Amino acid sequence: MITNSSQALPKTFWWHNLTQFGGAMNDNIFKLLMVYALIAWKGEASSAGILASVGLVFALPFLLIVPIAGNFADKFSKRKLIVILKLVELVVMGFGIAALSLQSPAMLYVTMFLMSAQSAFFGPCKYGILPEQVDSEQLSKANGSLQLFTFLAIICGTVLAPELSLLSEGNFSLAACVCLVIAGLGFLASWQIAPTPAHPSRQLSLNGFGSVFRTSLEIRKDGFLTLAVLALAVFSLAAAFIQLNVLDYGEQHLGLTPEAATRLFLLTAIGIGVGSTTAGWLSGRGIEFGIVPVGALLMSLSLATLGLMAEGNIWLSAISMAVLGFAAGLFIVPLQAFIQYRSPEDRVGAIQATNSFMSWLGILLASGLIYLNGAVLGGSAQNGFLLLACLILGLAGFSLWVLPDFFIKFIVMLITHACYRFQVRGLHNLPANGPGLLVCNHVSLMDAVLVMSSQQRRIRMLMSREQYEGYGRLTRKVIDLAQVILIHSQDNPKKLLQSLKTARQALDDGYLVCIFAEGSLTRTGMMRPFKQGFERIVKGTDYPIIPVYIGGAWGSVSSFYQGMPKIRLSEDFRYPVSVHYGEPLPTRSSAFEVQQAVSELSVESFELVKERRKSLGHELVASVRRNWNKLASADTTGREMKFGELLIASLLLRDRLRAQTDPSERSLGILLPTGTAATLANLATTLDRRISVNLNYTAPAASVASAQAQCEIRTVLTSRKFLERLSELPLGDNLLYLEDLLAELSGPAKLLAFVKARFWPARMLIAGISPVQPDEVATILFSSGSTAEPKGVMLSHHNLLSNIESFRSVVTPKREDVMLATLPFFHSFGYTVTLWFPLLSGITTACHSNPLEGETIGQLAEKYRASILLTTPSFLLAYVRKIKPEQLQHLRYTFTGAEKLQPRVAQMFEKRFGVQPLEGYGATELSPVCALSLPNVTVDNLEETGNREGRLGRVLPGMAMKIVHPESKATLGPGEEGLIYVKGPNVMLGYLNKEALTASVLQDGWYDTGDIGLMDVDGFFAITGRLSRFSKLGGEMISHGAVEEALQGAFGLSSDALVVVAIEDARKGEKLCVFHTEAALSEDSIREQLKALDIPNLWKPNPKDWQYLEALPLLGTGKLDYRELKALAAR
């Protein structure tokens, strides 16, 4: 359910609450003691007359005094009046004790009159002071607490009175001494209430009835306020009737004494307290009118049960009285809060006085109704309850007629919260009253319902006319009750303008208005470009724009994720969804700025999952058990393993690792090519709750040694056959070979592993006593070592799982899909997307260790019907030349990254294989996928653009991207070049042991990519350059400075004699060029020296791209002129 604001009610309110608690308890104790005393003195035969006369005397002062009491409350400080009135209560209680001691009925009636007079003056102060003590957003909460304490006081008074009567053995004056003590404590509490202002300019009128009449005329101008006052008057009549009638009902129908019958009303009082608290909770920061009809219907049902049940059924009577009280609590809190909220500040007392006067008229009518039913008509108390049930049923019907939209909204809210796992964030960003334009993303047919159910205010929704006309008659009737504003993109200009004017008028009337700015449901999961119509709605006003994001609904049956959307609450039962309200934006905000704000809220949506996030190991076990007998992994060595076999083997390998490694080793090195063996090694390490470190076997030896040293790796998992080719790499002392670890496994060990994999709880399969935390490091991936020391990027379970979920939300895997995996697992794309994504999505992976061997890859793709390919543009060209078209006939998606995809290469690939290669963008620090291009699709007659030439796609769901000025860091607008910043749950924990470096790239959750780019108004973006001197070649980030240092050392040249730059290349996207001042260098000599140089081949510029200059060009500052050098290289 919706929770109210976390802001606590102030202390002054609680002192006031305790003060009124004592007064309400005294009223009930003394009134009941008076009734018991009068019945004891006059006999039980006079009980009906006594009850009616006590009710009349109790009500009469309210009718006479309340009209002027409101004027006093408006003119003088309410706090001062409360202190004076508590002192008066002390005196009246003393007089009442004397009356009981003298056994004087006349004095008792005078006491009752004085006590009621004190309460009559107190009433307008009791409720009128609340708006001076709490914010308007807390009125429902405060009223719920006030009503709870009031009825707790009634409960205490109702319990204490009969017990005091019995304990004192009829000495009522002794019993009433308790009232004196309570009055004294109340007087002390009143002094703790904070001072409140007086209104000395307010004219004090002693013409009470004239004041009530004038106030009644004023509130008649406000229809809802008038109805609220009348509804509370009817409630007061019912409450007074029930309290008095229950005494006779207990005696006549249940055979109870007056004291025992009083305890029945105790249950009603408890119910009212619980109902009032529930109403305050349901109302949250607003006033939930929808529960008023619900309360009235429940009251009518409970009274009818009391009026029709068989004689002597005490248990059913008790239940009915409790439900009756609960329903009454639901009924009164919204009405009382509404009266306080709607009343002008200087008229609160007068309106409260009029409200009290009307309520006491109801109480007076209740006494008359009791007398009429019992003494005149001779009807039983049960008949009285049945008569009251009919009256309340009429009230329920009337409230349904007046408040149908509130009632429907409330019922929808209850259903929505029951059917979905619903979370709401940012409610404090919504105005508690007044207008505001909600601008929301649009992912499902349930979006409007989710927004309406997430908060208590009335919202006018803009809705597609086409969608409205497609619903049935009953659904349209419900929508009409919500007063939706119909609009359609195909409307003629006049009709469109009228819809926008209607929305503007709703804002002018103080409503919240919600618009789904995408214009239609997303077809791909990506946020569609926001239309600018909402800008016209708020133009020329100061109404705030509140960004809203609906999270989780993409993937439900009401979205396009599973095909044509439909509303099936049974299929989406307990589906997790969330609604997020962002900070209000200025009225002048553009569609681009609002969409950016909504995109940032999507990050919060994904972070919510973190609260219940499980580990990679847990998710693996769940996926394996869903796909036990399905093929999980295959490679070109001929090894095939089903999901179940893969988990069994991983558990066996984990046990062998435990036996041959020190438990204190947190990180294990893995040196294996892409394939089933590497998959097993990574899974076993993860299941053992250790950190996998896939070592880059293409990196220089120094980089491999550095990675092991940084991670304190003592054990490396590898294979003998693979290590034969890499004998020069420095590895740890403890080399473990998979061939040995998985050899000679015993039958019992395999059986135990099978039982664990198939049946053991997932939490027992993961090492460690405590659960895996979402931010626990899962893997460390190292940069290529292009700088002096490679950086270790720490990625958590939450990072990786969030990135997989984002990728999966737009690349919807089918059960028959097969991932063609050729990227190494030390590559972030290879680790996340070709290792973990297929395993957790339940699809098959076909692996090959060398991405350059096109013929072998083609055969593998043909054999396993590969449908998803992730690679780099350089490899695509090789596939065009070496793979036959029929071998990739099942291909659905081809994604490239790491380098720029040249249009010529993309066209060649699409022409040969019929699938358009699509570019993505990411970084190891982003786990790694951040943005993606998708196929253009047309679904339900609507085309959705998924890619654009020259752009790298749009940011994935759950992430946000912005372009900032490189120096000022100010956010830039569409089309402006700047630094690319990315935010999301996929952003790394940081660099291993490099806190300063981490702090330099992570700022308030945003990751500084170091790339220069721009973003279009519809979210598509491009990289236009690099802030630092790096090039991305073959998927690796290459530092120009590191290459320069290596070449300068090899050729014996100084830093002012050799420099490296990069220019665009039609084949690879980028290439390195060298300028030098050594005339003796020839192409052949360069080639020979490069061949002997022990650096990665990617670092070696082609000898044809070396140019001689007499001197390197310099700027006026003496620094190298890189712009001139690039221009020379391009020529």
* CATH for 881: 3.40.50.12780
Which of 944, 959, 988 is where one domain is finished? 944
In a domain? residue 977: no
The type of residue at 598 is V
In a domain? residue 319: yes
**Angstrom distances, CA of residue 79 to CA of 86, 183, 188, 193:** 11, 17, 13, 7
Question: Are residues 557 and 401 in contact, defined by beta-carbon separation less than 8 angstroms?
Answer: no
916 confidence band (pLDDT: 50, 70, 90):
very high
The type of residue at 50 is I
Look at residue 196 and tell me whether its pLDDT is greater than 80: yes
Q: What is the mean pLDDT of residues 781-788?
A: 60
Look at residue 208 and tell me whether its pLDDT is greater than 70: no
- Which of 124-133, 499-508, 633-642 bottoms out in mean pLDDT, i.e. has the lowest? 124-133
- Which of 230-244, 658-672, 1075-1089 bottoms out in mean pLDDT, i.e. has the lowest? 230-244
Number of domains comprising the chain? 4
Q: What pLDDT, on the 0 to 100 scale, is given for residue 837?
A: 97
* Burial zone of 490 (CB within 10 Å; 0-12 exposed, 13-18 middle, 19+ buried): exposed
Q: What pLDDT, on the 0 to 100 scale, is given for residue 981?
A: 96
Reported as a single tens digit per residue, the pLDDT across 283-322 is 655 566 667 777 778 888 888 888 888 887 888 888 888 8
1119 confidence band (pLDDT: 50, 70, 90):
low
More confident residue, 461 or 339: 461
Question: Are 561 and 702 members of one domain?
Answer: no
More confident residue, 405 or 795: 795
Question: Are 829 and 745 members of one domain?
Answer: yes
Residue 110 domain boundaries = 11-197+207-402
Q: Where are the beta strands (DSSP E) in 936-1020?
A: 937-939, 942-944, 954-955, 960-964, 978-983, 990-991, 1002-1003, 1006-1015
Question: Are 338 and 421 members of one domain?
Answer: no
**Angstrom distances, CA of residue 987 to CA of 331, 461, 829, 898, 1007:** 49, 36, 14, 18, 7
- Which of 112-116, 829-833, 1064-1068 bottoms out in mean pLDDT, i.e. has the lowest? 1064-1068
More confident residue, 905 or 68: 905
Q: What is the mean pLDDT of residues 975-1001?
A: 93
Q: What pLDDT, on the 0 to 100 scale, is given for residue 243?
A: 73
b/e per residue, 152-170, with b = 16+ CB within 10 A?
A: bbbbbbbbbbbebbeebee
In a domain? residue 4: no
Look at residue 1116 and tell me whether its pLDDT is greater than 50: no
Reported as a single tens digit per residue, the pLDDT across 514-545 is 999 998 888 888 999 999 888 989 998 999 99
| Phi, psi (degrees; rounded to nearest 5) at 722 | -70, -35
In a domain? residue 989: no
More confident residue, 882 or 565: 882
Q: What pLDDT, on the 0 to 100 scale, is given for residue 601?
A: 94
Q: What is the mean pLDDT of residues 1051-1062?
A: 87
More confident residue, 243 or 2: 243
**Apex 197 CA angle, 144 and 79, nearest 5:** 55
**Angstrom distances, CA of residue 178 to CA of 27, 156, 173, 190, 1031:** 12, 12, 10, 19, 87
Question: Are 563 and 684 members of one domain?
Answer: no
In a domain? residue 757: yes
Helix (H) or strand (E) holding 161: helix 139-167
* CATH for 1125: 3.30.300.30
CA distance 1011 to 993: 24
Look at residue 261 and tell me whether its pLDDT is greater than 70: yes
754 confidence band (pLDDT: 50, 70, 90):
very high
Question: Are 333 and 452 members of one domain?
Answer: no
Q: What pLDDT, on the 0 to 100 scale, is given for residue 5?
A: 40
More confident residue, 77 or 687: 687
Look at residue 22 and tell me whether its pLDDT is greater than 60: yes
Q: What pLDDT, on the 0 to 100 scale, is given for residue 801?
A: 96
Question: Are 638 and 553 members of one domain?
Answer: no
> Dihedral sign, CA of 1005, 1011, 1012, 1016?
negative
Question: Are 651 and 575 members of one domain?
Answer: no
Q: What pLDDT, on the 0 to 100 scale, is given for residue 2?
A: 38
Who contacts 169 (Cβ-Cβ below 8 Å, separation ≥6)? none
Reported as a single tens digit per residue, the pLDDT across 710-728 is 999 999 999 998 988 887 8
Question: Are 687 and 797 members of one domain?
Answer: yes
Question: Are 439 and 539 members of one domain?
Answer: yes
Look at residue 784 and tell me whether its pLDDT is greater than 60: no
More confident residue, 587 or 1070: 587
Helix (H) or strand (E) holding 197: none
46 confidence band (pLDDT: 50, 70, 90):
low
In a domain? residue 181: yes
More confident residue, 481 or 446: 446
Look at residue 3 and tell me whether its pLDDT is greater than 60: no
Question: Are 439 and 393 members of one domain?
Answer: no
Question: Are 94 and 170 members of one domain?
Answer: yes
Q: What pLDDT, on the 0 to 100 scale, is given for residue 682?
A: 97
Question: Are residues 503 and 462 in contact, defined by beta-carbon separation less than 8 angstroms?
Answer: yes
Helix (H) or strand (E) holding 316: helix 314-342
* Mean pLDDT score of the chain: 84
The end-to-end CA distance of the chain, in Å, is 67
Who contacts 575 (Cβ-Cβ below 8 Å, separation ≥6)? 419, 420, 421, 552, 555, 556
856 confidence band (pLDDT: 50, 70, 90):
very high
In a domain? residue 569: yes
Look at residue 217 and tell me whether its pLDDT is greater than 60: yes
How would you classify residue 563: left for phi > 0, otherwise alpha for psi between -120 and 50, otherwise beta?
Answer: left
* CATH for 170: 1.20.1250.20
Instruction: Look at the chain and count its residues.
Output: 1131
Q: What pLDDT, on the 0 to 100 scale, is given for residue 1117?
A: 40
Q: What pLDDT, on the 0 to 100 scale, is given for residue 1?
A: 36
b/e per residue, 1009-1026, with b = 16+ CB within 10 A?
A: bebbbbbbebbbbbbeeb
Q: What pLDDT, on the 0 to 100 scale, is given for residue 23?
A: 86
Name the residue among 132, 147, 106, 454 with its Cα closest to residue 271: 147
Look at residue 1028 and tell me whether its pLDDT is greater than 70: no
Reported as a single tens digit per residue, the pLDDT across 790-839 is 889 999 999 999 999 999 999 989 999 999 999 999 989 999 999 999 99
* CATH for 546: 3.40.1130.10
Q: Establish how many alpha carbons lie within 13 A of residue 196's alpha carbon, considering only the half-sphere containing its beta carbon.
A: 30
Which of 562, 578, 612 is where one domain is finished? 612
In a domain? residue 1017: no
Q: What is the mean pLDDT of residues 81-101?
A: 86
- Which of 52-61, 883-892, 1056-1065 bottoms out in mean pLDDT, i.e. has the lowest? 52-61
More confident residue, 396 or 864: 864
Omega of the bond leading into 928 within 30 degrees of 0 (cis)? yes
Which of 883, 915, 944 is where one domain is finished? 944
Who contacts 906 (Cβ-Cβ below 8 Å, separation ≥6)? 876, 916, 917
Name the residue among 403, 850, 463 with its Cα closest to residue 635: 850
Q: What is the mean pLDDT of residues 903-921?
A: 91
What is the rounded radius of gyration, in angstroms, for the C-alpha atoms of the chain? Answer: 39
Q: Which residue has 């007086």 as its token pair? A: 198
| 3-state percent breakdown (helix, strand, coil) of the chain, nearest 5 | 55, 15, 30
Name the residue among 563, 984, 549 with its Cα closest to residue 812: 563
Dump the DSSP string for 501-515: HHHHHHHHTT-EEEE
**pTM, full prediction:** 0.73
Question: Are 307 and 426 members of one domain?
Answer: no
